[in-house]
Amino acid sequence: MAKSALITGISGQDGAYLAKHLLGLGYEVHGIMPRRSTPTTWRLEYLGILGDVDLIEGDLADSAACMGAVMETRPDEVYNLGAQSFVATSWRQPLLTAQATGLGALNMLEAIRKARPEAKFYQASTSEMFGGMKDRPLQDENTPFHPRSPYGVAKLFAHWSTINYRESFGLFGCCGILFNHESPLRGIEFVTRKVTDAVARIKLGRQKDLHLGNIDAKRDWGFAGDYVKAMHMMLQQPEPDCYVVATGVTTTVRDMCRIAFAHVGLDYRDFVVVDPKFYRPAEVEILLGNPAKANAKLGWKAETTLEELMGMMVDADLERVKRETR
């Protein structure tokens, strides 16, 4: 019989790539979708899988909806990807972030504990939990946490709740501590997609410049299509555990801009304007992950370089902007 998976956040970047990956492996895929005035199914459409997944209305803040979705679908695997995931927004909406990103995970854990304790659970943890650990140049599963935003704090609550439910109730709970991962399906507010969209518009004469905040910040950027494979691999291991998923290479926002603009033959210095409006109340200066454990135990490895990733994203945005302007 086909295995079944329930994905929260199925309409997001990772949810869409993961759904596609699991369908390819023969899974029956269900997803929880919060009600929006305009449907947010464009990523599922982009990947051509909208008709292949079962979508259930529900919000992570609503414990009855979480319980209902678990009871209705009786999944073998649950992937908790739903979240208010944008760091900058988490200062403007800290309570909503705590609710969806922090308590939402607990709602899913409780639903599983009561209605489907044999289900395996994946929690989307994040390198933002390391935050201020800049004196630790390479972050791994043993690096202490020091979140620097309401988002990071909420994710740390969800992370420890998953470990606590494993230790308290024997749930098969895994946490993937994923470093930044991007794709043509990345939300436009994140810096890589903001840059590739601007590169496309500037190249096509639709935009003049690009306003950014702290371009000296460093991130370990990978491709989302590679990273969702690690989520599935974690749940196939004999024991639940936590894994860092990263490329092991860190790059400044400035250098990422250089690569993206160079893809279309432009020099970023002619277009990028530093605008303090985009500075954050507290910054995470550097993230660099050590994926040795995921490499060794899962056999997972990042397959896409930053140059390839930026090229893929710029090309996709060029196509999008051309379609818009036709």
Q: Summarize as ranges the residues that interact with ligand NDP (CB under 6 A).
A: 8-9, 11-15, 32, 34, 36, 40, 59-61, 81-85, 100, 104, 124, 126, 178, 180-181, 187
Q: Is 89 a catalytic residue?
A: no
Contact of residue 178 among ligand GDP, ligand NDP, none (CB under 5-8 Å per partner type): ligand NDP
DSSP string, 151-175: HHHHHHHHHHHHHHHHHHH--EEEE
Binding of ligand GDP at residue 214 (CB under 6 A)? yes
* 3-state SS class at 318: helix
Query: Do residues 56 and 64 lie in contact, with contact meaning Cβ atoms separated by under 8 Å?
Result: no
Stretch of 56-64, 109-117, 159-167, 189-197 lying at the interface with ligand GDP (CB under 6 A): 189-197
Binding of ligand GDP at residue 209 (CB under 6 A)? no
Among 30, 219, 258, 263, binds ligand GDP (CB under 6 A): 219
Q: Where are the alpha helices (DSSP H) in the chain?
A: 13-24, 42-46, 63-73, 87-92, 94-97, 104-115, 150-169, 191-203, 224-235, 253-262, 292-293, 306-325
Binding of ligand GDP at residue 191 (CB under 6 A)? yes
Residue placing its CB nearer to ligand NDP in the complex, 34 or 213: 34
220 CB contacts (<8 Å, ≥6 apart)?
A: 127, 179, 180, 246, 247, 248, 249, 250, 251, 287, 288, 289
Binding mask 65-104 for ligand GDP (x = CB under 6 A): ----------------------xx----------------
Q: Is 27 a catalytic residue?
A: no
Backbone angles phi, psi at 243, to 5 degrees: -135, 140
Among 61, 278, 297, 305, binds ligand GDP (CB under 6 A): 278
Query: Do residues 60 and 8 lie in contact, with contact meaning Cβ atoms separated by under 8 Å?
Result: yes
Q: Is 250 a catalytic residue?
A: no
Q: How far is the CB of 302 from ligand GDP (least distance, A)?
A: 17
Residue placing its CB nearer to ligand GDP in the complex, 73 or 192: 192
Active-site position among 8, 73, 126, 192: 126
- Let me know how many helices (H) and strands (E) the chain has, helices first: 12, 13
Query: Do residues 179 and 284 lie in contact, with contact meaning Cβ atoms separated by under 8 Å?
Result: no
Q: Give the bridge partners for 322, in sequence order.
A: none
Query: Do residues 218 and 254 lie in contact, with contact meaning Cβ atoms separated by under 8 Å?
Result: no
Contact of residue 12 among ligand GDP, ligand NDP, none (CB under 5-8 Å per partner type): ligand NDP
**Residue among 181, 262, 264, 275 nearest 219 (CA):** 181
Binding of ligand GDP at residue 153 (CB under 6 A)? no
Q: Give the bridge partners for 4, in sequence order.
A: 28
Active-site position among 27, 151, 165, 227: 151
17 CB contacts (<8 Å, ≥6 apart)?
A: 47, 183, 185, 224, 225, 228
Contact of residue 217 among ligand NDP, ligand GDP, none (CB under 5-8 Å per partner type): ligand GDP
Active-site position among 128, 182, 251, 304: 128
Contact of residue 13 among ligand NDP, ligand GDP, none (CB under 5-8 Å per partner type): ligand NDP
**Residue 297: DSSP 8-state:** I
The residue ranges that bind ligand GDP (CB under 6 A) are 87-88, 128, 180, 189-191, 194, 212-215, 217, 219, 253, 278, 280, 283-284
Q: Which residues carry out catalysis?
A: 126, 128, 151
